[in-house]
Amino acid sequence: MTLFTIRNQDDIRDIEKIPLAERLIAQNTYQLIQHTAQTYPDKIAISYIASGIDYTQHGSISYQKFLQQIHQYANLFYALGIRSNDVISYLLPNLPQTHFVLWGAQVTGIVNPINPLLEADTIKCICQTAHTKILVALGNTDIWQKVLAIQQDIPSLRYVLCLDANFTEQGHLLNLQQHIDKQPTQLTFQRDIAPEDIASLYHTGGTTGTPKLAQRSHYNEIAMAWMINTVAGLHSDTTLLCGLPLFHVNATMITGLSVFASAAKVVLLTPTGFRNPDIIQYFYAIVHYYQANFFSAVPTVLSALLEVPVKHDISSLEYAVCGAAPLSVELFRRFEQHTKIRILEGYGLTEGTCASAVNPKDGERKIGSIGLSMPYQSMQIAILDKDTGAWQGVAKPNEIGYILIKGDNVFQKYLDPQHNETAWLKDGWFITGDLGRQDQDGYFWLTGRIKELIIRGGHNIDPLMIEEIFYQLPEVKLAAAIACPHPHLGEVPVVFVELTNKCSLNCEDLLQYVTQHTAEQAAIPKKIFIIDHIPLTPIGKIFKPALRWQITKEVYQQALHHIPFQSIKVCEDKQHGTRVNIYLPNRDKKSLTKQIKQRLSDYTLYYQLHFLD
């Protein structure tokens, strides 16, 4: 593909003078991979290592073999009754077979990647909503135990394919490898895949509750691959490292379809990727051995890599792309100083098929910003009515508002119509749920998610502003500012901190430092908690809901300390956002209810009483 120089918005506008459809070499994801395989049959598409310690031991798959494997998987799905509108779900770690399932499923029907770390009930709910007909899962693991627990409760499910060579088939539970080996390496059927056909269903909306399912078309995905290649400058001699999970759009698009569209090579960093401690420990050695040019990560991965000495030549790395969560300016500077690797901070979401903005690789990188909107995409900061969500106008430069996106990359709609009701403006703009601003040079800046804002007495506090101060201390590995319920102010900020090894700082030291360096009095944390490990999502983002639930539980326990409750549990609630469950002995119901109502009258969170026998 043509390599472009992107320095500023003018370069992006020049690219956009030719319609995107004229730049694309394929109409769907299968044609895109097929074109590369026919042009570069002997080039390596995928290398994979099984162990971080033994990182020099690896297997490789050429583009020709890759296409043949996609054909075999597509043939099997077709033989099992899958057609264009049928869904194949998978629960797999980062394996070459995951890519075969992912792209083979899109040849035959619709693919639905699922996070295998989700609870069984949530996985069941996703499959029920998607009307899954085939479920592919890793055998002989806790993943398989989840599948066995839920498979009878998915009415649409016809077959479960077990990825385990030693698995003994039982009815509709099939040994995947045995059936794949019988399939031809050329397609046995014909399907005319239109650009507007649905290619995938990705779940989004967090790791608890009922995730939304975003429908993305083939055109969404091939357009996204072209956009990523353009801003990243990927080409046939590029090597990328994949450490993020292959149920997430970052891994499947940036270190997936974009790689295969440009005839580059991806190295799979063990089945568990960056969650494997050995991958972190030997990361710089892996970069040197494979002469990697790029990798994509989230802020917590960069934080972990800061603690690893750089003892190898990693000059092959042109830059690292960081997204999924706001990156602290201090963490940005410390990582670049530690590694001499350039970071390109960007922004994206599942509904945008992966990425919507990034700092220009050839131009000015504004530290702390998410960069410029990518070619053939539109982004704007809008002022919306707080009550109705109606559009009131475009924000002024540096005025905070709602981030909206629009373009060929934006997904079609959520599978559940209810989720679409407040997600869109009438003229096609998608409301991301993020807050931000755009400066006079066109660069976008995140100022937090709407749900993560700390609202103290009607005063909005951006948690990132608080976290930035903590990251100024080299001893701070991770920091998470959380809204803590307060009887009079509604919410006050508290901060959970994970320190680096051999650090002697205590809570008083941290509070003194942050107090001295916080310009906004209301943003000074009411309390600081030092914990061993801050909870992370499977892709490595800080999982703030768990911390919010933890502090809420403590507050409500304190508020009810004279009440004879048995336990308190806090969780997500579909309607109210958060629900506090209070479990009580089955006696004096009327009196206990009245007492609790009085004690909690100043708190705003929804709660339910459960009287136990």
pLDDT tens digits for range 187-197? 999 999 999 99
**Cα angle value 104/108/109 (rounded, 5°):** 105
Q: Which residue has the higher pLDDT, 78 or 574?
A: 78
CA distance 513 to 476: 12
- On the question of pLDDT at 325 being above 70, the answer is no
Give the number of other CB atoms < 10 A from CB of residue 128. Answer: 16
Q: Do 350 and 202 contact (CB within 8 A), yes or no?
A: yes
- Looking only at the bridges linking them, the beta strands covering 173-175 and 490-499 are unpaired
- On the question of pLDDT at 426 being above 90, the answer is no
CA distance 539 to 89: 19
Q: What is the pLDDT of residues 442-499, one digit of tens each?
A: 999 887 666 677 877 656 677 888 888 898 888 888 999 998 988 877 789 999 999 9
E strands present in 243-299: 265-269, 294-297
Q: Which residue has the higher pLDDT, 106 or 209?
A: 106
Residue whose C-alpha is closest to residue 361's, from 380, 377, 346, 347: 346
Q: What is the pLDDT of residues 126-185, one digit of tens each?
A: 999 999 999 999 999 999 999 999 999 999 999 999 999 999 999 999 999 999 999 999
> What are the chain's domains?
9-445 (3.40.50.12780), 453-535 (3.30.300.30), 560-612 (no CATH)
Q: What is the pLDDT of residues 354-400, one digit of tens each?
A: 999 999 989 999 988 899 999 999 999 999 887 777 888 899 998 88
Q: What's the pTM?
A: 0.82
Q: What pairs with residue 481 in β-bridges?
A: 495
Name every residue whose Cβ is closer than 8 Å to that of residue 18 and which is 6 or more positions away in sequence.
Answer: none
Q: Do 318 and 294 contact (CB within 8 A), yes or no?
A: yes
Query: Judging by beta carbons within 10 Å of its beta carbon (0-12, 13-18, 19+), is residue 532 exposed, middle or buried?
Result: exposed
pLDDT band at 206 (very low <50, low <70, confident <90, very high): very low
pLDDT band at 41 (very low <50, low <70, confident <90, very high): very high
